[in-house]
């Protein structure tokens, strides 16, 4: 039983250990790691090693794997369970070219027998739950999400997350939830609806429409990890959570920066933190050019942190002066 049915979507370059912990602290029921290639020969890089680092992460720890070779995926799954993964998630939803070039991610959806072989092999290889993330199909003419869901259930997949777009859609247009509703009607395993869920109200609507067991939130968590708290409150009681005080938000952002610096070190830390600061700046400060330039241009973590303290302190004082 999960602490909440509102989960963080796996996002390469975003859902690193610090961000996963932050979102779990705000009530995300699960937070899968950034996808890790099943090709163990590529694991000896600092990027892959960081993706396998779960120290201090709340349970259950989920590792997402991407690949197309059943044995390689099984091997990778076993290795990650040995390193502390408590759920293995398989990625058949990613549209990235580099992944699709090698027929993995969402490209796998075009080969249903291969999907079955992969799922069966991985499920049999580990004694932890194996979950699957898919899109609704390859394109609008080949929307085979319902078939894939049936295969997944038959192979022993424990839960399914469905992004309401085809691979051909990339991120264009709006997610559709009718296929997710059809998938939910087809299988008895838990289904998480995903795609464009960006408010507590939208989460409620999508759950009501699809009958899904939970929702998965990706981009709406950028610069707003507290969205999980708001969605949980709305789903549980129908009421809005009190908005966080600006001083609380500032402290959360500064602690997030600290955790990024600690996790990535100086050089990589300043770069990764830029992305999150950009989102916070956009969400909260309205991205004024001067502030953005300072936050984005800071050459090291000390300067970046000092700029963040200054601008978010100003933002807190502004509210105090207006009160
Ligand atoms: C920056 C970024 C990276 C992503 N990386 C992954 C990934 O590694 N694995 C995966 O299954 N999906 C990945 N996705 C897809 C998301 O998990 C999710 O399905 C998609 O963003 C739709 O949900 P949303 O509208 O709530 O963002 C990524 C999406 C984004 C925006």
User: Given this model, what pLDDT does residue 287 score?
Assistant: 84
How far does the centroid of ligand 1 lie from the alpha carbon of residue 303, in Å? 31
Angle made by CA atoms 320, 321, 323, in degrees to the nearest 5: 65
CA nearest to 122, candidates 169, 90, 168, 154: 90
The label of the residue with tokens 């991407």 reads 66
User: Given this model, what pLDDT does residue 98 score?
Assistant: 55
CA nearest to 189, candidates 154, 164, 144: 154
Output the six-digit token pair for 93: 């939803």
With contact defined as beta carbons under 8 Å apart, do 254 and 309 qualify? yes
Output the six-digit token pair for 55: 């120290």
Name every residue whose Cβ is closer than 8 Å to that of residue 307 and which is 6 or more positions away in sequence: 294, 295, 298
The label of the residue with tokens 């001067």 reads 290
Per-position pLDDT tens, the chain of length 323: 788 999 999 999 999 999 999 999 999 999 999 999 998 888 988 888 888 889 999 999 999 999 999 999 999 999 999 999 999 999 998 776 555 456 667 888 989 999 999 999 999 999 999 999 999 999 999 999 999 999 999 999 999 999 999 999 999 999 999 999 999 999 999 999 999 999 999 999 999 999 999 999 999 999 999 999 999 999 998 888 888 999 999 999 999 999 999 999 999 999 999 999 999 999 999 988 999 999 999 999 999 999 999 999 999 998 888 87
Query: What is the rounded distance in angstroms from the CA atom of residue 100 to the CA atom of residue 63?
Result: 20
With contact defined as beta carbons under 8 Å apart, do 59 and 86 qualify? yes
Atom of ligand 1 minimally distant from the CA of 93: 11
With contact defined as beta carbons under 8 Å apart, do 278 and 272 qualify? no
User: Given this model, what pLDDT does residue 238 score?
Assistant: 85
Residue 190: CB atoms within 10 A of its CB come to 16
User: Given this model, what pLDDT does residue 2 score?
Assistant: 82
Residue 65: in which H helix or E strand, if any?
strand 62-66
How far does the centroid of ligand 1 lie from the alpha carbon of residue 296, in Å? 24
CA nearest to 259, candidates 25, 36, 86: 25
User: Given this model, what pLDDT does residue 99 score?
Assistant: 53
Q: Annotated catalytic sites, by residue?
A: 94
Atom of ligand 1 minimally distant from the CA of 175: 25
How far does the centroid of ligand 1 lie from the alpha carbon of residue 15, in Å? 10
Residue 70: in which H helix or E strand, if any?
helix 70-82
CA nearest to 220, candidates 275, 283, 142: 283
Q: Which residues pair with 37 in a beta bridge?
A: 66
Q: How far is CA 201 from CA 197, 205, 238, in A?
A: 9, 6, 9
User: Given this model, what pLDDT does residue 97 score?
Assistant: 57
Name every residue whose Cβ is closer than 8 Å to that of residue 31 and which is 6 or more positions away in sequence: 7, 8, 15, 19, 20, 21, 23, 24, 62
User: Given this model, what pLDDT does residue 323 score?
Assistant: 77
Among protein residues, the one with the nearest Cα to ligand 1's atom 1 is 11
CA nearest to 135, candidates 218, 204, 13: 218
Name every residue whose Cβ is closer than 8 Å to that of residue 159 and which is 6 or more positions away in sequence: 129, 131, 132, 189, 190, 191, 192, 213
- The preferred substitution site among 94, 134, 175 for testing ligand 1, maximizing ligand atoms within 8 Å of CB, is 94
With contact defined as beta carbons under 8 Å apart, do 163 and 217 qualify? no
Three-state secondary structure call for residue 41:
helix
How far does the centroid of ligand 1 lie from the alpha carbon of residue 9, in Å? 6
Q: How far is CA 164 from CA 93, 100, 138, 149, in A?
A: 10, 18, 12, 13
The label of the residue with tokens 């709406």 reads 220
User: Given this model, what pLDDT does residue 124 score?
Assistant: 98
User: Given this model, what pLDDT does residue 48 score?
Assistant: 85
pTM: 0.96
């Amino acid at each position: 039983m999960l602490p909440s049915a509102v989960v963080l979507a796996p996002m390469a370059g975003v859902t690193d250990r610090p961000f996963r912990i932050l979102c779990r602290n705000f009530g995300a029921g699960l937070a899968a790691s950034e996808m890790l290639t099943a090709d163990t020969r590529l694991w000896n890089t600092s990027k892959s090693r960081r993706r396998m680092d779960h120290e201090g992460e709340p349970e259950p720890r989920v590792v997402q794997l991407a690949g197309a070779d059943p044995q390689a995926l099984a091997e990778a799954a076993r290795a990650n369970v040995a390193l502390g993964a408590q759920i293995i998630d398989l990625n058949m939803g990613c549209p990235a070219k580099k992944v699709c070039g090698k027929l993995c991610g969402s490209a796998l959806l075009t080969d249903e027998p291969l999907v079955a072989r992969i799922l069966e092999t991985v499920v049999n290889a580990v004694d932890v739950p194996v979950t699957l993330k898919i899109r609704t199909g390859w394109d609008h003419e080949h929307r085979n999400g319902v078939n894939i869901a049936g295969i997944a259930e038959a192979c022993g997949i424990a839960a399914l997350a469905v992004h309401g777009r085809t691979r051909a859609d990339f991120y264009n247009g709006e997610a559709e939830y009718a296929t997710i509703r059809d998938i939910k009607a087809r299988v008895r395993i838990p289904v998480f609806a995903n795609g464009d869920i960006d408010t507590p109200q939208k989460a409620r609507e999508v759950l009501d429409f699809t009958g899904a067991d939970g929702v998965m939130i990706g981009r709406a968590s950028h610069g707003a990890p507290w969205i999980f708290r708001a969605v949980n409150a709305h789903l549980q009681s129908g009421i809005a959570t009190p908005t966080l005080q600006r001083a609380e938000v500032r402290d959360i952002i500064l602690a997030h920066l600290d955790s990024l610096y600690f996790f990535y070190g100086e050089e990589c830390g300043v770069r990764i933190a830029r992305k999150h600061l950009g989102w916070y700046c956009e969400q909260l400060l309205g991205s004024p050019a001067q502030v953005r330039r300072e936050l984005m241009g800071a050459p090291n973590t000390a300067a970046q942190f000092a700029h963040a303290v200054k601008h978010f302190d100003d933002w807190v004082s502004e509210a105090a002066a207006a009160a």
